[in-house]
Amino acid sequence: MQYALIFNETEQAFANRENDQQATYWSAWGAFAQALQEAEVFRGGNALLPPGTGTTVRMVDGERQVQDGPFAEAKEFLGGYMIIDVPDLDSAMTWAARCPAAKDGSVEVRPIRQMSE
């Protein structure tokens, strides 16, 4: 089955991408991605720029409403996602637990909807 690992990161984690912690930050992610690839379960993914670079758009009564930043204030923000292909939820949870975002943020494991063939 395919699962999305959805990474929710703290503001501090986003800051660590750029500050003097950046080597530590990126090497943890690099190691995680490498482990996924060598286990041949990695199917793709992306890191997202910090929430401050986001713009939220919605249609209200036919009018376009635009808001700077993410939809709501929160402690954690979407920082990226990866798609993995593993036999079951238990295996996906094991990978989620190894992910750097699980330490100070959180990781949501969500099955990918199968397109009917």
Partner 1 sequence: MTQTDDAGRAAERAARHGYGRLVAWLAVRTGDVAGAEDALADAFASALVDWPSNGVPDRPEAWLMAAARRRQIDHVRHGATRRAAVADIIALTGDDDGAEPGARDIPDKRLELMFVCAHPAIAPEMRAPLMLQTVLGLNAARIASAFLVKPATMGQRLSRAKSKIKLAGLRFAVPEADELPGRLQDVLNAIYAAFTTGRDAPWGDTAPQTGLTTEALWLTQTLRQMMPGEGEVAGLLSLMLHSTARQPASRTAAGAYVPLDQQDTSRWSMAMIAQAETELLAARHCGPIGRYQLEAALQSAHANGRLVGQPDWRAILILHEALRVVAPSLGGEVGRAIARSHCEGPEAGLACLDDMPTSRVGSYQPYWAARAHLLAAAGRLREADRAYGRAIGLSEEEPVRAFLADRRAAALSGEGPGQQAETKADRDAGHRHTS
Among 61, 73, 88, 115, binds partner 1 (CB under 8 A): 88
Q: At 81, which helix (H) or strand (E)?
A: strand 76-85
Nearer of residues 56 and 94 to partner 1, judged by Cβ: 94
Per rule CB under 8 A, is residue 106 in the interface with partner 1? no
Per rule CB under 8 A, is residue 1 in the interface with partner 1? yes
Q: How far apart are CA 85 and CA 97, in angstroms?
A: 16
Alpha helices in 1-117 (DSSP H): 11-16, 22-38, 89-98, 101-104
Phi and psi at residue 96, to the nearest 5°: -60, -40
Among the listed ranges 40-48, 59-67, 69-77, 108-116, the one in contact with partner 1 (CB under 8 A) is 108-116
Shortest distance in whole angstroms from residue 88 CB to partner 1: 4
Among the listed ranges 8-16, 20-28, 44-52, 86-94, the one in contact with partner 1 (CB under 8 A) is 86-94
State both tokens at 35.
């482990």
Among the listed ranges 6-14, 33-41, 42-50, 107-115, the one in contact with partner 1 (CB under 8 A) is 107-115
Sign of CA dihedral 47, 6, 27, 73: positive
Q: What is the dihedral of CA 6, 65, 52, 81, to 10 degrees?
A: 10
Site for partner 1 in 39-58 (CB under 8 A): none
Per rule CB under 8 A, is residue 90 in the interface with partner 1? yes
